[in-house]
Homo-oligomer: A and B are copies of this chain.
Amino acid sequence: MRAIVLSIGDELLCGDCVDTNSSWLCGRFAERGVQVCEVLQIPDDRERIAHAFRSASGRCEVIVSTGGLGPTPDDLTSAALADAVGDELVRDETAVGWIRDRLVSRGHGMIDSQATMGDRPTSAVLLRNANGTAPIVHRADEICRVWCLPGPPVEMRPAFEQYIAPELPPGRSLASQEVRCCGIIEADAAALLGELIDRDRTLPVGTRVSRGSFIATVHEEGPESDALLADVAARLAPWAYGGNDEGPQHDVARMLLAANQTLATAESCTGGWIGASIVDVPGSSRWYRGGVVSYSNELKHRWLDVPMTRFEAEGPGAVSGEVARDMAVGIRATTGSDWGVSVTGVAGPDGGTERKPVGTVWIGISSDTADVARQFRFPGDRTAVRRRAVAYAMQCLRFAMLETSAPLALEVGS
């Protein structure tokens, strides 16, 4: 079974708003074994919407639209569906009753424009919206079933679960399981995966790069998929840190809990982002002691015992391996943690020099066996450099805990 998702609204095409409805719907369809073959975002234009319905109906068995069901003049979904199937619009008095009831129950009267939400194509039916005023429009013929859902996620999601999910056949899930990697370039990861990523295999492995992570996906579930997923993870070790929705900090959490060890952080250019990503893991208070954002040299000295001579003209400067190491050692000592992680770098847009261009980041790791610092050069703007520094700091820590000397992409000689 195939589906097409239509997201309707001028705001989607002006960049005001990211269309999260369509990715949510894609996820729900995948879980139920329905292949979404296309997502289309179009403006509040009656002719354009009608054309989209007509064009989609020949290519799939289920069409779901979101948006354009409200009372304002730019809400045109129902009228456009009528055009697409050659219907008239008729007012559905039962639905007008639902609309009036809901408004009255909230202390309002119903005005004329609100009654238009009770209009439907003659061959369609209206379904009550449990979480809003605009009814859902539904129409089915021998080729295709259409549901028009409201745009607000708080109304759209329950309407999907109530009306669409029960109508989908029990299908084998197409939801994907991921293996996520940090610190390996796409081509090297692809080479490690080898024949697994050939397009003509029965169980293909998909790959993509997102925010600096390489992600391999297996799109089916079952014993074969699980074995394949394990193979993928093994081939991508030690860069692979976890699965769906995880960051390297989730694997760090597992390792620290298993070893009954603790961690503390000392951040400069990341400004607390590493700590925030750690605290995002529920239960992190069992292994995370805390940290400092030592944004000034004085605080690096005071809180972390970094010698002030590091910052003098002849010294290595705040962005250096020495200071990264000092910071990691300092935070470990002052908090009594088993591991200390530090970051100092030039996130930009200003502050870069020829020797230390924007994107230069040092990561320090301190433990009872060694104190090390590694230098990286991260691409992109201030946010991209900082995001990469957060993920790499956790990945450097993982590698230290794993005692691996595997290389990390974007590392530069010190």
A interface with B by C-beta (< 8 Å) = 9-20, 22-30, 35-44, 48, 70-74, 103, 106, 108, 111, 113-114, 131-133, 151-154, 174-176, 178, 185-188, 190-191, 197-199, 204, 206-212, 215, 217, 219, 265, 267, 269-280, 282-285, 288-296, 299, 302-303, 334-335, 347-350, 379-384, 386, 409-410
Contacts and interface: CB of A to CB of B under 8 A. Distances in A.
Which of A108, A176, A276 lies at the interface centre, i.e. has the most chain B CB atoms within 10 A of its CB? A276
Contacts of A108: 185, 187-188
Nearest to A335: B299
A312 B11 CA distance: 50
B350 A283 contact: yes
User: How many copies of this kind of chain does the complex include?
Assistant: 2
A66 to B, nearest CB: 12
B71 A187 contact: yes
A290 B290 contact: no
B26 A72 contact: no
A276 B285 contact: no
Contact of A16 (B178, B265, B267): B178
B295 A14 contact: no
Nearest to A41: B39
Contact of A15 (B26, B270, B293): B26
B269 A293 contact: no
A107 to B, nearest CB: 8
B23 A174 contact: no
B295 A293 contact: no
A206 B74 contact: yes
